Chains A and B, each alone.
Chain A
């Protein structure tokens, strides 16, 4: 994210920023942390760490700017540095393959012909949530930022430290993977129904 000149806040101003600009995002932050860690205790710790860091570095934040994106970026970095290492090896997504896929001619190929709006509407349980959680964390992240939190591509690029083109291609690939997963659910639901 752009470097802003270091601000000089009084303790009162710091607390004001923290309470009025940072804390209102706590629900989104907790949801993001939970979707990344897939564990409620880890999510809680991650959010707590993030807010403590945000307070510590509050003078790098310019009052009135995009606090949500700033906080999400800190959370994402804390997750990569502290949590991913603890739990398992960082996932390895072959982005070269992604770019090639995105630029290839068969990109318009309908990969999920059996996935229909009607079958999605029948998914009233945890199917959607489970399908999202099953994605590799890098793919999951772009869907969370875009579809759950409504960030713009430019904001996502800054949060994730990647070019906008990569945001778009990763999002495209992530959605295809999600649809493949949802198709599996749709097929299994259909199978069950035909058994009845």
Chain B
């Protein structure tokens, strides 16, 4: 591995933008090599550091605020009844 090795480099030689790297990191899609590279990069790149914190906060808030709806209590029962009916009709 050379000093300038960039694990984000695409097969066609294209260098990814900061936001493209950030997205892979944020979504857990980056390889361990890419994660290490990004950690070092983030120390030198203020926009990346800021975006990372902002995007991570949004991701956490989405999970926290948008998954709270309780399933209607009778839904599972209704599904099971419907399946029972369809089985009886089929047989």
Residues of A within 8 A of B (CB): 11, 18, 23, 26-27, 30-31, 34-35, 40, 44, 47-48, 51-52, 55-56, 107-108, 110, 115-117, 120-121, 123, 126, 128-129, 132, 143-144, 146-148, 152-153, 168, 171-172, 175, 178-179, 182
Q: Is the CB of B18 within 8 A of A30?
A: no
- Chain B residue nearest to A128 (CB atoms) is B65
A194 to B75, CA, bound (A): 47
B40 at the interface (CB under 8 A from A): no
B79 at the interface (CB under 8 A from A): yes
Give the bracket for the number of chain B residues in contact with chain A: 20 to 34
For B19-60 the 0/1 string (1 means CB < 8 A from A) is 110010001110000000000000000010001011101110
Q: Is the CB of B82 within 8 A of A143?
A: no
Q: How far is the CB of B75 from chain A (nearest CB, A)?
A: 6
A43 to B2, CA, bound (A): 54
Residues of B within 8 A of A (CB): 17-20, 23, 27-29, 47, 51, 53-55, 57-59, 61-63, 65-67, 69, 71-72, 75-76, 78-79, 82-83, 86-87
* Known A-B contacts A108-B19, A117-B53, A117-B57; A143 and B62 likewise in contact (beta carbons under 8 Å): yes
Query: How many A-B contacts if CB must be within 8 Å?
Result: 92
A92 to B75, CA, bound (A): 32
Contact of B71 among A30, A108, A110 (CB under 8 A): A30
Contact of A179 among B23, B58, B72 (CB under 8 A): B58
Q: Is the CB of B19 within 8 A of A107?
A: yes
Q: How far is the CB of B37 from chain A (nearest CB, A)?
A: 17
Which A residues touch B53, using CB under 8 A?
117
Which A residues touch B78, using CB under 8 A?
48
Q: Is the CB of B75 within 8 A of A44?
A: yes
* Known A-B contacts A107-B19, A120-B61, A128-B61; A175 and B27 likewise in contact (beta carbons under 8 Å): no
Which B residues touch A120, using CB under 8 A?
54, 57-58, 61
A59 to B86, CA, bound (A): 16
Q: How far is the CB of B44 from chain A (nearest CB, A)?
A: 15
A44 to B47, CA, bound (A): 43
A27 to B67, CA, bound (A): 9
Q: Is the CB of A107 within 8 A of B17?
A: yes
Q: Is the CB of A182 within 8 A of B58?
A: yes
Q: Is the CB of B55 within 8 A of A44?
A: no
Contact of A132 among B17, B62, B76 (CB under 8 A): B62
Which B residues touch A121, using CB under 8 A?
57
Which B residues touch A168, using CB under 8 A?
20, 23
Q: Is the CB of A175 within 8 A of B58?
A: yes
